[in-house]
Structure 1
Amino acid sequence: MISWGQAQQATVLLDGALVYQDADFDAPVIATLKRGAVHSISTGKKGPFFKIRLKPGSVGWISDTDVKPGVYKLAAPKEEKKRVEEKEEKRKPFFATRYRGPALDFINFTEDTLGQERSEFLPFYGVKFNGFNTIFTGEIYTEGNILFHLGAPKYYSEVTGKGGDGFIFLADFLFQTVLPQGKNGIFFYGFGPMFRYSHFTLEVPNGTKTLSYSADDMTLGAVFDLGLSWRFGRYSVRTDAKYYWERTKYYGFGLNLGWEF
């Protein structure tokens, strides 16, 4: 008799390996196993068969050519490797793939206000999309950004001595040239139009009173950028530097996590 007193772990070598009711190739098949599955088998054999435990209370017999004592991580079979390679070949090149996702930009926002140009680095949050066929159909690589900053720059409170509130809205659209840097990397640069709208609610001391007023500004301009992007599976990480040219001129840096669409 085969005893389970010294059972051992074993790895199934063949997808669809047959488990027989008895140690006989003519016996009924009671189960099939997946390649790479790990089961307990007997340490001894009955002819060319190991006794195998399928689950508590359920045992059968498996050919010694279909299992290997020990736990192993099996390499993909040739057919599976071929399918993976074919899938990779059919996948679009990185530069030809569209992405969209959240964006974080730090911009040295500059405006002509309170008698002079004033600047402050501000965080902007929003979304970015990039790739072919995002706005225009055809072989035109483009990028679009919609960004918001909530609050007023600190230079208002530094001058007035009072707090301020509001927001800044930035939107831009760039036509870009893309230079592949290997299979999963690209370098890009481009330019395009940009739009800015800002609205601030400010408080200004006036003698013994405090006056509140709204400062609204809207302008068109241009933006230039250059950057790098890397692909990780269906995702991309994109970083760039931008130069804004409108009533004032300022620059910023951005980071984006995108996914294919």
Structure 2
Amino acid sequence: MAIKIKILKSLLLIILSVGTVSVYALSAFAAPAVKSKKTAKRKDAGQSAVIKVDGSAVYEVPNFDSPVLEYMDRGKQVKISKKIYPGIGGLGAFYKIRIKKGFYGYIADTDAEVSRKGKSSRDGSDDDEDDDENLESETDPTKLQSGLFSENVQEEGADTFYLTRYIGFAYSSFNYSEVLRNQVETSPVKMLGMKMSGPTGIMGGMPLDMNVLFTTTAPNFYSDISDATSGFMLISDALVVLPLYESQRVILYYGFGAMLRYSSWQVKLKSQPGKAAIDSQELGLGAAVTGGAALRLGARLVLRADARYYYEKEPYLGYGAALQFKY
């Protein structure tokens, strides 16, 4: 009876862990679903503006740490979006700006001043007005490309690497440490599982990196005291991630958060050969930090690699890789 209760407890913990990940996935998926409907798509015809600050930087994405595409002179007439884009990570606000035909970037909202199209102050014949109109069509950015900012705002924001949601299969290897026989034992442990990355429906939509990892192979140091060991170990974490560098294909990032470990091993001791296996269960909670990189392999596929440092009852370091799909 006692064994059945312990098995039920283990199954309940696994169900709770999987349920937590499922809620995360559903909340992340459901939150932007309504906004991405094609029927709700609104066109942004753009607006004319003047650069206020000499040497204003135009960034690749709405982030002050992203690559600079161009510097603009004060007084230059440009075309910007009517929509203001929040900066990635919550820092700053940006307009989308046309650099040249088919080439766009993002400029801080404090560097561009919206201007109203004024009427010509010159009096003349209809031919003169036609000439002014033709000249204006070449120099006035409001007439260069009427559909310039027609992309859906949510789709544009979600297309940045940092703000795109991915899910996939993960592999991790930890230099796992545990106190056994009143001393710290260390052994490599390989685990398989699932990784989710990107904005969520929780924490105000802050991008997270979540892992759920599982193994049925006990650490090697158990073989020193046991003839046979069976069971499993589960490690899960949730980390807030921030970009160090981001382009359309590559992102470097770091993060911090919390982790959970649960292990349940049935250990048959060498010192007690005639007795039944001992049921050893342990729960560990701790902090986690990570650093990693991801590479886009296509429109929907990403290869991700990272290193993670866990600190619970004993600290240990690991590394991992994941193949993820956009969802």
Decide whether the 8 Å contact of 1:141 with 1:178 is kept in 2: no
Pairwise CA distance, 1:206: 4.1
Cα distance in 2, alignment partners of residues 156 and 176 from structure 1: 35
Q: Pairwise mapping of residues 113-192 of structure 1 onto structure 2 (< 5 A)?
A: 113-133=180-200, 135-138=202-205, 140-160=206-226, 162-192=227-257
Whether the aligned pair in 2 keeps the contact of 1:238 and 1:257 (CA below 8 Å) is yes
CA RMSD in angstroms, aligned pairs only: 2.0
**Greater per-residue helix proportion:** 2
1:108 and 2:175 correspond: yes
Match of 2:141 in 1: none
Q: Find 2:269's aligned residue among 196, 204, 215.
A: 204
Say whether the 8 Å CA contact 1:97–1:132 is kept in structure 2. yes
Provide the TM-score with structure 1 as the length reference: 0.62
- How far the C-alpha of 1:208 sits from its partner, in A, is 6.1
Match of 1:214 in 2: 279
Deviation at 1:129, TM superposition (A): 0.4
Q: CA deviation at 1:151?
A: 2.2
Structure 2: how far apart are the matches of 1:221 and 1:172? 9
Please give the secondary structure, in 2, of the residue aligned with 1:157: helix
Distance 1:208 1:235 in 2: 51
Pairing 1:55-70 to 2, within 5 Å after superposition: none
Distance 1:114 1:182, change over 3 A: same
Q: Using the alignment, how far apart are the partners of 1:156 and 1:104 within structure 2?
A: 22
2 CA distance for matches of 1:254 and 1:203?
31
Matches within 5 A, 1:17-32: none
Within the candidate set 99, 106, 109, 2:166 is matched to 99
Higher strand content, 1 or 2 = 1
Pick from 231, 234, 247: which aligns with 2:313? 247
* 1:215 shift after superposition: 0.7
Distance 1:144 1:246, change over 3 A: same
Structure 1: segments with no counterpart, 5+ residues: 1-85
Structure 2 CA distance for partners of 1:196 and 1:207, relative to 1, 3 Å: closer
Q: CA-to-partner distance for each residue in 1:16-36, whole Å, 9 max, x for gaps?
A: xxxxxxxxxxxxxxxxxxxxx
CA distance in 2, matches of 1:153, 1:102: 22
1:235 and 2:235 equivalent?
no
Identity %: 31
The size of the alignment, in residue pairs, is: 173
Aligned residue type for 1:236? V
The runs of 4+ residues in structure 1 deviating greater than 4 Å are none
Aligned AA for 1:255?
Answer: A
Q: Which amino acid aligns with 1:253?
A: Y
Q: Provide the rounded CA distance (Å) in 2 between the counterparts of 1:180 and 1:144.
A: 20
Structure 2: 5+ residue stretches without partners: 1-149
Q: Which amino acid aligns with 1:178?
A: P
Partner Cα distance (2:255, 2:202) in 1? 16
Tell me if the contact between 2:196 and 2:209 (Cα under 8 Å) persists in the aligned partners. Answer: yes
| Larger Rg computed on CA atoms | 1
Q: What SS is found at the alignment partner of 2:218?
A: coil
